[in-house]
Structure formats: structure tokens, C-alpha cells
Amino acid sequence: MIFTSNIFLFLYLPLYLACYYLARPQWRSAIIVAGSYLFYAWWRPDFLFLFVAVTYWNYFFGDLINKHRDSDKKKAFRILCVGVSGNLAALGYFKYANFGADVLGAALESFGLNTFTLEHIILPLGISFYIFQAISYIVDIYRKEAEKANNFIDFAAFVALFPQLIAGPILHYRDVDKQLKKRNHSWDLFSLGVCRFMLGFIKKVLIADSLAPISEQFLSNPDVQMADAWFGSAVSLIQLYFDFSGYSDMAIGLGMMMGFKFTENFNQPFLAKSLSEFWRRWHLTLANFLMHYVYRPLVRTVKLSPDVALFCTMILSGIWHGASVSFVCFGLSFAILMVLERRFNLVTSPSSPYNAIRNIITVIFLLMIMPFFTTGSLSHSLAIYRGMSGLDGVGSLNAYVIGTSSMAMMFVACSVIWLVIAGWINVRFARTKGAYLMQNVAGWQAVLLWLGFALAVSKLAANSFSPFLYFQF
Amino acid sequence: MYPVMKNASRWNGYLFCGLLVVMMVYSIPQLVTFASTEEETLSLYLDGQLSRKFEQRFDGDLPFKTKSISFWSDIRYVLFNEGESGVVVGRDDWLYSNEELLIPNKLDEVLSGHLAKIKSINDELKLAGRDLIIVPVPLKAAIYPEHLKRPLDARLSGLYQKFLDDLKNSNIKAVPLDLTFNDYKAKNKSGAPLYLARDTHWSPAGANLAAQAVAQMFPDLVEGKRYQSATHDTTDYQGDLTNFVLAGNWLAGSIRAPEVVPVYETVPIVDENSPDALFGDVEQSIDLVGTSYSEIEAWNFRGFLQQSLARDVTSFSLKEKGPFVSMSEYMESELSASDSASVIWEFPVRVLLMPDERVESWQEALKNQF
């Protein structure tokens, strides 16, 4: 099920919240599990079996590791390796088997050997997210950074929690275990959750979905000229931001409606002054996961140099996003540029002073990297780079106006204005309380939010829903 | 500290709960009704079809769906004077398909690709001992650019002649309709338009003129069977492009109005005194392969062609498939083994602007999964 669908908003959510709040507090975890399984099974009930199996696998291994981690550290480590390998095997089969078969087939073909075909394997929704989340549980137990779950229902509720099930934010068990046992429910938190949900809904339906036709027009035709290529790339990036950050806002808002406080996933990424800083502002929970479970172990345990570890981490990040050479290049491009930033002392942090020139340069680099991500195809990306370089002519934006609409172009302008205003307020008032336009949603801010929500609901009713882009991963 | 909402008035929560309660009261009966009418639910449920089916019905029955569609279309029309994606709103209540105006970046490459396919079809027909005659249908925007709000791009106004030149260089026969159409337009200022104002296609007048041009250009094709086309009535024809203007009638009334189209019928003239009337020679039919320009009966292109060529015309035309698919299916059909020595191929020139292959992005593929 998708948050931005009529069925979710007008049937599932009211029924779920009614059941949740009418149930006794000790039953609420069970309601979360049942509701989340129903939510997940709405897409393909058969994949629910895999989901439950992964949940049970990790619960079982968590228990085992917990039993041995004090008495026999080596055995606990071996159990951890088996547990993590099982998770990675599931992820590898469902996400990378097709890609592996293609690569192997092509390699064999180049040697003139008979090639083979693998039946297309469907990618289960959200597998990259819930596998990572499950891995974090058993690793944290091994490292003694988290206690094992009280019971299977609590653990299943952690893995399945529907607001973040399909596209994050990626939670760590240690961050929510106390909330699973006890959390406060109040009208204040519920209302804040409602506002956060509505904001995300507006971002996705009103902005991201309105930019989608331009992005599709851009991505459906590899032969682009300079203006079209840069503009298309920029719109695709903005669409991706509004789509994914909108999803994260909705997830965080829904969590608040149930008394949870999730980790933030975005922090004004287009204000980044370096690519290293960008990853401290974009998809923060993935970046934290990679930092915590990949980069640091590579540096501290495997004793790789920080630069090599960064290369490995960023390439893994690329592969996590998608099984293709293009996503590897996506990770590799970031790795090269981030290592260069380290070498030339250009790494910045979100708290360092704003520098417009470095911000603009960072955004230009982002636009140059994004075709690897948005196309998912190396040859298509190279065609776009050719277009960006101007080798195929200067171009005009006519194709977008005639091929999509002036209204879509107006939404591009609205999204840019949104980003500029939000960025300006953040930079201008960073050290004061008012660094966000809707810090306290009351009065005119509430009216504005509800007006936007009403427009978004009517747009959803008019056009029906479209899935979130990160469902792909 | 992240720049995010920190507090919200409780009224937001109360109002949201009120909205959810109202919608839940509306939605539950929908669910119950659906559940009581469905059969074979388990098998449908397991592969996710049942939920999609219910979702589609739920979306379609939403009480504010129609109002929402009108609302967004009205905004679009008022602010930008545009319809849904696919149509370009012109002056004087004329509408154009955006396919006629979208120029691919590598136009020459796209044209070469199409020409190569046409050449191969021509070669294949030649091997079978048949003659290909292409009837390229000009862009509506090129014949009637005066109703466009922006001047027509020079590449589009020159597209027809370039295509004719390419065909000529490849020794493929073609009927230059643009000259005929422009000539007609110049001489008949108040005559019937050759294209419908709010439809993608030509009018019966355009189809008739095209049929006459084929006969004039290839007099060898004309035989002796006499046909007569006559109109006794008119019909209100709702142009296909009006489907892309969904704004309310109060805003876009005239642009959505149907057009009056004469209804033509072509019948053979039987001369009862002629000795050939009953047992005369069987006339040889000629094959027409085409698209919706030939397939839609309202234009009567086949009838006009029969009249102009004075012979039977067997039509193999498909709607919404384009000329290449029509031709490929024709060549695979039994009809391709007919005795027709020539094949007339009605070919809308706007197809030349469409790239051969469209890339399906992962974003689009993702959409199709839900």
C-alpha cells in the first residue's frame, strides 16, 4: 500500500488508528504487526512469507548471539556471521541475481561460450530497507549496543512498523526498543504527526508528482541537448528530493501519530557545501548505517585506510541503490570526489558557515552525478553527459513545454522557490529558534498547510496515485 | 537540531481525526459491498489482483473525483490556456496533437531510421512483384499554421518536402499531398477545411482531395468501375483532441463543441443497360494499408479512393497502431497474397517525428508495478 493513495488515507489509516487506540496498551505491538503485515501484503501477499521468514531468522539469531556473547565471544561472532550471511543471501538473490546472471552471461558470451538466462526475479518491496534494519539488530546485540527483544511480537513490530517499512527511515533497534515497550501518546504529539504527515503528502503529491512528467520526458529520450539535459537532470533531482523527503516526512508523521519518534532522514541537502556534507544531509539513516556498520569496521577492524574504506562504502552505497553498473558508477563518482575533498581539505559539515559559491559548485557536481542514478543505465547516462557537454547542440526547453505542460513548468518554479525560501530561512536563522518556516503549526501556517493538503488530496483524486521512487530500492 | 516542525496546534489533530472519521463512514460500506460481490477471492488475493481491483473501484467511486478532475483542468485552462498532456490549444478553437510539434533532437537520425524501414518494406513488396505508393498525410499544423499560437518551426514546415525528396531519392513512389492541400486552401478561402479543427485527422474534404490526388498522380491505377459518393446528412462529430480538454463547459464550452461533418456514402453505379452489368469482367481490387485516417468511416477515404480510381479498394487499416504496425500486420496477413499489383500506403507524416525506440525508465517501470 502507498501512503499517497486514497485507500490508505480514507480506509486503512482511519481503521488502523481506530484499532490502535481502542486496543489496550499491551496489545498495541500486536496491532502494529497485524496492521503492518496487512499493509505489506496489499502489494503481493506471497512476499509476506519472505518478510516473516526474515523477521524470524533475525529474532532467532539475536537470541542465539545474546546467549553466547558473554560466555563465548568467538562462537557469538560465528553465529553473527551466519545470521548476516543469511540476510545478505536473501538480499543477494532477490536484488542482485538478475544483474549477476546478466554480467556472467555477457562474460561467457564474450568467450564464445553458451550463455544462459535466468527467469526474472521480482524484487520484494522494501527488502533493502528491512534487511538492513534486521542486520542492525543482530550486530547491535553482538556489540552489546542493544538488548535482545523482549518477545517476538515486539521485534516483529520493530521490523514491520508500517510507516517506515518500505523506504525507511532505517531504524536501529536500540533507538526504538524503549519506545516499543513504552511510549507516550498525546494530542500534542498526534497533532504534530498529522502536520508532518500533511507536509510530506503535499511534497509528494503536489510537487514531486507534478514534476514527474518532465522527469519522464527527460528520461524517456536519451538524445538530449545541453539545455534539456541540465534542466532535465535538475528536475529529476528535485523530484527525487520531494518524493523521498515527502515519504520520510509522512513516515515520521505517522510514527508520531502512534507515539514513536523516528530519526530524521533529511536536513536541507541542497545547502551542502561539499559532497561529503551532502551525505550528512541526504538519506541520513542510510548514511549512518553505512558509517556505523561498514565504514568504521573497515577502518577499525579491517584496518583499511580511510580513503579505501570510503571507496568501498560509497560503492556499496551505489550497489545498495540498484543492481547495475550505472549505480556502481554513481557510488564511485561520489567516492572519487569525496576523497579529493579530503585531500584538498574541502570537507565541510552542516554546522560550518554557509558559502554560496561552494554550495553552487556542490549542486553542479550533484547534477553531474545524478544521471547515473536517475537513468539506472550506463549507456543512457553517457548519452546525457554528451548532451550536457553541448556536443549535440544547445537545445531549448520547448520539448518539456510541448511534451508535458506549462503547469508542470510552473511546479518546477514553485519547487525551486520552496527550496530557496527554506534554505534562506535555514541559513539566515540557523543559530536562532526560527530556522524553519513552520516551526509551530498554528494560525496562518496551519491554514496554509491545510490548504496545501486539500489541493494535494484533490490532485490525488484527479490523477490517482503514483508510487514513491525509493520503492525501487 | 534539524529544521523541522516542533509544535502544532491540537486543532490540526482534531480536524484530521474528523476527516478520517467521515471518510471511514463513507469507505466501510464500499468495502462491504465489494467483499459481498467478489468471487474466487483467494486466488485473486494471493497475486495481489484483488487489492488492485478494489483500489481501482474505490478510486473511481470517490465522491469528489469528478469535481477534482474538473478543478485541476479548469486551473490549467485558466492559468495557461492548455489542456491535458497531449494537446496544444491553438487560436479560434483549434486543437493540435502535440505529436505534430515535438521535434526530436536528432531529427535527421530519426528520419533516416524511418526511411530505412520504409525502404525495406518497399524492397520486400518489390520482391513480391508489387508496387508501393505512399500517400504521406501532411501535418495539420503545417497546413493550418495560422491557428497556432506560436510560429511553426521551420524544420516542421520543411518536413514534408524533405520526406518527399528522401522517398524520391530512394525510388519510392509518393503522392505530394501538401501541394494539393495548399493549392486547395489558397483557392477556396471559405471552403470546407481539410482537417477538423478539434480532431487529429483530416476531414472528408481532405480525404476526398487526397484520393483525387492519388488518381491524378497515378492515372494507370484508374480502371472503369464507376462509383459515386454522395452526402445526404451531417453528423455532430466529437473531435478526439477534445478529450484532452477537461475544463468545465463554462470555461471551455466552444473548444469542446462537436463539429458538423457531412456523412458520405460511396456506392457503385450500376448501368443496367450495359452488357457487363451482370456478367462483366471482375475488376481487380487495389489494397490500401493505413491508419485511423483510412479506418474511420467518417472520413470515407476508402470510398473516395474507389470513386477516384474507379475500382474496388480493399482496406487494411488499423487505429492507434501507426503506419508501420499496420503495414507489418498487412504483410503477415492473408490479404498480402491478393492480386493487387499496387499497395497504397496512407502514412501520417507526424509519425516521422517519433523516435524509433522510447526508453522505459525504471521510474516508469516502477509505476507499472502498482
* Residue A252 and residue A326 share a domain: yes
Please report, for residues A9, A199, A447, A456, A457, the alpha-carbon distance to residue A6 in angstroms, rounded to integers and kept in the order given.
Answer: 5, 17, 22, 11, 8
> Catalytic residues of A, which ones?
321
* Residue A264 and residue A400 share a domain: yes
3-state secondary structure of A240: helix
* Residue A193 and residue A179 share a domain: no
Nearest Cα residue in chain A from B28: A11
* Residue A198 and residue A124 share a domain: no
Which A positions 55-94 lie with beta carbon below 8 A of chain B?
none
Regions of chain B short of the pLDDT cut 70: 1, 38-40, 271-283, 357-370
Domain for residue A171, yes or no?
yes
* Residue A179 and residue A233 share a domain: no
Q: What is the DSSP string of B299-349?
A: G-HHHHHHHHHTS-EEEEE-TTSHHHHHHHHHHHSGGGGSS-SEEEEEEEG
Q: Annotated catalytic residue: which of B97, B166, B201, B342? A: B201
pLDDT at B174: 94
Give the pLDDT confidence of A71-89 residue by residue, as tens digits.
888 899 999 999 999 999 9
Which A positions 235-264 lie with beta carbon below 8 A of chain B?
264
Residues 6 or more apart from B282 whose CB is under 8 A from it?
none
- Is the CB of residue A174 less than 8 Å from the CB of residue A133? no
* Residue A408 and residue A438 share a domain: yes
Residue % of chain B over a pLDDT of 70: 91
Q: How many CB atoms lie within 10 A of CB B11?
A: 14
| Number of domains comprising chain A | 2
Question: Does residue B147 carry a catalytic annotation?
Answer: no
3-state secondary structure of B264: strand
Determine, for residues A440 and B102 on separate chains, whether the beta-carbon distance falls below 8 Å: no
pLDDT at B366: 65
What is the rounded distance in angstroms from the CA atom of residue A116 to the CA atom of residue B236? Answer: 58
Closest Cα in chain B, distance from residue A68 (Å): 39
Q: How many CB atoms lie within 10 A of CB A36?
A: 21
The size of chain A, in residues, is 473
Domain for residue A177, yes or no?
yes
* Residue A208 and residue A137 share a domain: no
Please report, for residues A125, A215, A237, A252, B370, the alpha-carbon distance to residue A245 in angstroms, rounded to integers and kept in the order given.
Answer: 18, 17, 12, 10, 21
pLDDT at A468: 67
What is the rounded distance in angstroms from the CA atom of residue A267 to the CA atom of residue B155? Answer: 47
What is the rounded distance in angstroms from the CA atom of residue B55 to the CA atom of residue A7? Answer: 6
Cell of B223: 480502371
Question: Does residue B338 carry a catalytic annotation?
Answer: no
Higher-confidence residue: B353 or A42? Answer: B353
Determine, for residues B68 and A461 on separate chains, whether the beta-carbon distance falls below 8 Å: yes
Judge whether B191 is closer than 8 Å to chain A, CB to CB. Answer: no
AA letter at A410: M
Judge whether B69 is closer than 8 Å to chain A, CB to CB. Answer: yes
Give the pLDDT confidence of B251-308 residue by residue, as tens digits.
777 888 899 999 999 998 876 665 555 555 556 788 999 999 999 999 999 999 999 9
* Chain A residues touching residue B65 (CB < 8 angstroms): 461-462
Domain for residue A465, yes or no?
yes
pLDDT at B367: 66
Domain containing A42 equals: 6-183
* Residue A69 and residue A169 share a domain: yes
* Residue A388 and residue A322 share a domain: yes
A–B CB contacts, 8 A cutoff, strictly below: 219
Q: Strands across the sheet with B131-137, in order? A: B173-174, B131-137, B342-348, B286-290, B313-317
* Residue A200 and residue A99 share a domain: no
* Residue A304 and residue A254 share a domain: yes
Pairing label, strands B87-89, B95-97: antiparallel
H/E stretch holding A441: strand A440-441
Please report, for residues A236, B99, B103, the alpha-carbon distance to residue B352 in angstroms, rounded to integers and kept in the order given.
Answer: 28, 10, 10
Determine, for residues A216 and B2 on separate chains, whether the beta-carbon distance falls below 8 Å: no
E strands present in chain B: 7-8, 87-89, 95-97, 131-137, 173-174, 227-237, 259-268, 286-290, 313-317, 342-348
H/E stretch holding A440: strand A440-441
Of A61, A128, A64, A137, nearest to A96 by C-alpha is A128
Please report, for residues A104, A108, A418, the alpha-carbon distance to residue A114 in angstroms, rounded to integers and kept in the order given.
Answer: 11, 7, 55
What is the rounded distance in angstroms from the CA atom of residue A327 to the CA atom of residue A350? Answer: 26
Domain for residue A1, yes or no?
no
- Is the CB of residue A188 less than 8 Å from the CB of residue A256? no
Determine, for residues A7 and B103 on separate chains, whether the beta-carbon distance falls below 8 Å: no
Give the pLDDT confidence of A181-228 residue by residue, as tens digits.
888 899 999 999 999 999 999 999 999 999 998 998 888 887 888 888
DSSP at B195: B
Burial classification of residue A60, based on how many CB atoms lie within 10 Å of its CB (0-12 exposed, 13-18 middle, 19 or more buried): middle
- Write down the residue that cell numbers 510539434 correspond to: B101
* Residue A178 and residue A76 share a domain: yes
pLDDT at A472: 64
pLDDT at A116: 64
What is the rounded distance in angstroms from the CA atom of residue B115 to the CA atom of residue B245? Answer: 34
Give the pLDDT confidence of B322-358 residue by residue, as tens digits.
899 999 999 888 877 777 788 999 999 999 998 876 6
Cell of B41: 477471492
pLDDT at B365: 67
Of B181, B167, B171, nearest to B212 by C-alpha is B181
- Is the CB of residue A59 less than 8 Å from the CB of residue A141? no
Q: State ipTM.
A: 0.83
